[in-house]
Amino acid sequence: MNDKILVVIGGGAAGFFCAVNAARIHKDLKVILIEKSSHLLSKVKVSGGGRCNVTHACFNISDLIKCYPRGAAFLKKAFHQFDTSATINWFQEREVTLKTEEDGRVFPESNSSQTIINCLLNEANQYGIDIRMNADVVSVEYNQSVETKKARFHIVLRNQKTISSDYLCIASGGFPKKSQYEWIEKLGHSIEFPVPSLFTFNIPNNKITSLMGITVQHVVIKLAGTKLQQNGPILITHWGLSGPVVLKLSAWGAIELAERKYEFEIMVNWLPDFNEHTLKEKFQILRFEIASQKIFNRNPFGLPARLWEYLLMESEVKEETRWADLPAKEQNKLIKILCSHSFFIKGKTTFKEEFVTAGGIQLSEIDPHTMMSRLLPGLFFAGEILNIDGITGGFNFQNAWTTGWIAANHLNEKNTSLES
C-alpha cells in the first residue's frame, strides 16, 4: 500500500525524470504524473532533428556552468549531485548507448529520440507511475490540518477534478507569458519575467537571404553597442540568419534583445582569424602572389563560392577585376565587409526544436541542494520552469535531468513537523 503521494506536473524531460526516479527510490510512494496535452516528452522527440541531444560532453562543472546565461551559480551546486557523467551512466545502465559527436553534443547511438522516450516510458511502466493526459492545471491549493499538522496539496484541473498529494513537483516547462504563472504565484513564489531564448534573426528584404542553405563553419557575431559576441557556425536562411552562433547570441542577449523589441544591429566577421588591419596586410600579399587571377574566380579564404560572390558584389568589385588591379576603395570596402559585415535585424523566428524561455521561478526561493521551495515544504521544482536556461547543444536537457533527479532524491527532506 502506498503511504504517500507525489504529483508531478509536466510530462517533459524534467517531469518524467523526477517521476521515474522518485518511484524507483521511494518504494512506498505513489507517483502521479499529469500532462496538459495529449503528448508526452514532446521536446525530447523533436530535439536534435529527431535524434535527441541528450546532454553535452562537458565534464568539468566550472566549464559546464559557463553554458548557462541564467542559473549558473545555482547549477554549480546542483551539478555536484548529478552531472553530465551521471546522465550518461543513468541511460547506459538502462542499455541506452550514447555517442559523442565532434562538437561535443551527445546523442543515442541509434540516432533516434524514440530510444530515449522508450527508455523513460519503460521506467514509468516498471515502477507503476500513474500517467494522466489532457490534465490542465487551473490552480494549486496548499493547506495544513490543524489536528494532524499534515500538509496537503490540492491540484485543481480544468475538468474540475482535484488530485491531492503529500508532495508536488512542478516541472511544467517555461511559459511565454507571465500571466501563465499566476497559479504558481498564488503559492507565494516570485516570477522572473519570461522572454524567449534561442531564436533566429530576421533580416527582411536583404539580398543575403537568396543564399539560403549556405553554412559557414566559423564566424564571430557581435551585438552592436554591447560587449556581447559569440562564435561558431552560421546558417543563412530564407528569412535571415540562424545556426549555433546565432542561437547562442540570442540566449546570452535574450533580455536585452527583448527590451529592444527585436530590432538591433549585428556585425558578422566572416573571417574571425583576421581583423581589418591584419586582413589588409594579407590582401597586400595576395595582390602579389595571385596577381593575375580574377578575384571572382580565386577565393583564398575558403568561403562558399556563392557567399564570396555576394560579398564581392556588396563591395562593388567588378567581375573582371584581377587581384593586382583591385582599386583601394573597393578593397577597403571588401575588407570592412569581411571583418565587420553589418546587418539590421528586425524580428525573430522561434527555433522550434530548441525553444526555451529565459525567466521563471526566482532561484533565491529554491534550495539548489534539494530543489525544494524555501517557502512551502514538500513543493519542488525541476527543469525550465526555473529561471535557468542554457545555450543550444544539450545543456537544457542536462538541467532537466539534474533538477528532476535531485527533486526525486530529496522528497524525504520535507519539514518533519508537517509529516503525519
In this structure, are 206 and 328 located in the same domain?
yes
In this structure, are 176 and 263 located in the same domain?
no
What nine digits make up the cell of 412? 524525504
Residues 6+ apart with CB under 8 A from 17: 120, 382, 400, 401, 404, 405, 408
Q: Report yes or no: 251 and 310 within 8 Å, Cβ to Cβ.
A: no
Per-residue pLDDT tens digits of the chain, which is 420 residues long: 458 999 999 999 999 999 999 999 999 999 999 999 999 999 999 998 999 999 999 999 999 999 999 999 999 999 999 999 999 999 999 999 999 999 999 999 999 999 999 999 999 999 999 999 999 999 999 997 656 567 799 999 999 899 999 999 999 999 999 999 999 999 999 999 999 999 999 999 999 999 999 999 999 999 999 999 999 999 999 999 999 999 999 999 999 999 999 999 999 999 999 999 999 999 999 999 999 999 999 999 999 999 999 999 999 999 999 999 999 999 999 999 999 999 999 999 986 555 789 999 999 999 999 999 999 999 999 999 999 999 999 999 999 999 999 999 999 865 433 333
Q: Quick one: pLDDT at residue 355? A: 73
Residue where one domain finishes, among candidates 330, 350, 370: 350
Instruction: Give the bridge partners for 275, in sequence order.
Output: none
pTM listed for this prediction: 0.92
Residue 18 belongs to domain with CATH number = 3.50.50.60
In this structure, are 362 and 346 located in the same domain?
no
Q: Quick one: pLDDT at residue 147? A: 61
In this structure, are 164 and 259 located in the same domain?
no
Q: Quick one: pLDDT at residue 418? A: 35
Residue where one domain finishes, among candidates 317, 350, 383: 350
Q: Quick one: pLDDT at residue 3? A: 80
Structural domain count of the chain: 2
In this structure, are 179 and 256 located in the same domain?
no
Q: How far is Cα 116 from Cα 410, in angstroms, rounded to an integer?
A: 24
In this structure, are 281 and 150 located in the same domain?
no
Q: How far is Cα 360 from Cα 195, in angstroms, rounded to an integer?
A: 9
Spell out the SS3 assignment of 305-343.
Answer: HHHHHHHHHHCCCCCCCEHHHCCHHHHHHHHHHHHCEEE
In this structure, are 188 and 253 located in the same domain?
no
Q: Quick one: pLDDT at residue 412? A: 80
Q: Quick one: pLDDT at residue 417? A: 35
Q: How far is Cα 159 from Cα 32, in angstroms, rounded to an integer?
A: 17
Q: Quick one: pLDDT at residue 330? A: 97
In this structure, are 31 and 158 located in the same domain?
yes
In this structure, are 24 and 106 located in the same domain?
yes
In this structure, are 138 and 248 located in the same domain?
no
Q: How far is Cα 65 from Cα 68, in angstroms, rounded to an integer?
A: 6
Residue range of the domain that includes 295: 199-350
CA atoms within 13 A on the CB side of 237: 17
Q: Which of 154, 81, 56 is nearest to 371 (CA)?
A: 81
Residue where one domain finishes, among candidates 350, 366, 401: 350
Q: Quick one: pLDDT at residue 151? A: 74
In this structure, are 335 and 207 located in the same domain?
yes
β-strand pairing of 167-170 with 379-381: parallel
In this structure, are 23 and 125 located in the same domain?
yes
